[in-house]
Copies of this chain bind each other. A is one copy, B any other.
Amino acid sequence: MKFSQIVEALADQVTASSLDAGLDPQIEKIAAIQDAPSGSLSYVEGGKFAAAIETTHASALILPDDSDLQAKAVARELAWVSVKNPRIVFARAIALFYQPYRRAPGVHPTAVIDDAASLGESVAIGPRVVIHEGAIIGDRVCIHAGAVVYPGARIGPNTVLHANCVIHERSQIGENCVIHSGAVIGSEGFGFVPTATGWEKMHQAGITILENGVEIGCNTTVDRPAVGETRVRQNTKIDNLVHIAHGCQIGEAVAMAAQVGMAGGVTIGNRVILAGQVGIANQAKLGDGVVASAQSGIHSNVRAGEVVSGTPAFSHKVYLKSAAVLKKLPEMAKSLKAIQKQLAKE
């Protein structure tokens, strides 16, 4: 593809480009700036990677709207395009060259589809998929090999289920969702009541609902509750190996990094960001826009817009200072003793 074609495809984001200068190389692939070979298009997000412009082998660059960076590209005779949001443009440029694997419509003969299940139009059902009675599969759904859909689950149009994932009974998955390999949706919540001799099981009669545009990472688990619903609202993106317990209510456009875990009945607002390995206790409520840093342990409610860190989690600003003191604790303890001794003498 010619560089000029790429610039045209991204036109609504473009603020300036080297096309006027006549530079229009053939682009074969997209690459990270430090690894980019000749014939590739790369991007520079900001000042941090500016030096890389001087050494990259890329033939063309996506730049922010920054005349210094443009000058650096010009100096190296590289094609360039300045854009409003280089990262989004990079994502869109990748999509010009690459589309993820998706099965062609059709039902593989080894798929096991119950007579009492319903399939939409143009579905693509892979080998060894199992779809149980009462399941409803929307139009253009793509289900990869080995996935299992329990009775009565509904999968919305255009949704993709990856290999060996499991959708449990009565779960409702919206449109344009992606469930990655090995994820388990709508499984029984961890509901046991303590008794004198052990644990009595509480059946999990509720359901799990994933709204439209939700993405669930590989081997992530989203449980259903005893009563009511576990719900993940639209456009929320969840990474691998995350655990969402029974009865959690997750807002819209939330992002959760890998290995986050939350106990039962947690409520999370819209546009919350949870970094890796964050844990959230039973019934805690996080307001809209909360950000929690990696490994935070959230024991209680967090107000909208707060940034928290640490276990138990508190203000990130204070945390940074506290964390810096942690290394000095032994020294502080020693100083304190010395002072006590001195004062005692006096």
- Seen from chain A, the residues whose Cβ lies within 8 Å of a Cβ on chain B are 29-32, 35, 85, 87-88, 90-91, 94-95, 97-101, 108, 110, 112, 126-128, 130, 132, 144-146, 148, 150-151, 162-164, 166, 168-169, 180-182, 184, 187-188, 190-193, 195, 197-205, 213, 215, 217-219, 221, 223, 226-228, 234-235, 237, 239-241, 243, 245, 247, 252-253, 255, 257-259, 261-263, 275-277, 279, 281, 294-295, 297, 299, 310-312, 314-315, 318, 321-330, 332-333, 335-336, 339-340, 342-343
Contacts and interface: CB of A to CB of B under 8 A. Distances in A.
10 contacts: A30-B227, A100-B188, A112-B145, A197-B235, A221-B258, A276-B281, A277-B277, A279-B294, A321-B330, A332-B333
A165 to B, nearest CB: 8
Contacts of A88: 193, 195, 200
A241 B221 contact: yes
A151 B94 CA distance: 20
Contacts of A226: 90-91, 94
Given A322-B330, A326-B329, 5 more contacts: A91-B191, A91-B201, A112-B128, A198-B235, A259-B261
Most chain-B CB neighbours within 10 Å: which of A31, A184, A200, A203? A184
A205 B94 contact: yes
B330 A326 contact: no
List the 4 closest pairs (A to B, CB-CB), nearest first: A98-B205, A91-B202, A321-B330, A198-B253
Contacts of A29: 227
Contact of A221 (B219, B279, B311, B323): B219
B108 A110 contact: no
A97 B205 contact: yes
Contacts of A279: 259, 276-277, 294-295
A145 to B, nearest CB: 4
Contacts of A237: 190, 192, 199
A255 B332 contact: no
Interface of A is mostly: loop
Contacts of A126: 130
Contacts of A35: 227-228
Contact of A329 (B204, B227, B325): B325
Contact of A148 (B87, B146, B258, B259): B146
Contact of A112 (B30, B110, B318, B342): B110
A270 to B, nearest CB: 9
Contact of A98 (B97, B203, B261): B203
B164 A87 contact: no
Contacts of A144: 148, 150
A102 to B, nearest CB: 10
A109 B221 CA distance: 29
A148 B110 CA distance: 14
A324 B181 CA distance: 42
Contact of A200 (B91, B312, B333): B91
A340 B226 CA distance: 54
A153 to B, nearest CB: 11
Contacts of A228: 31-32, 35
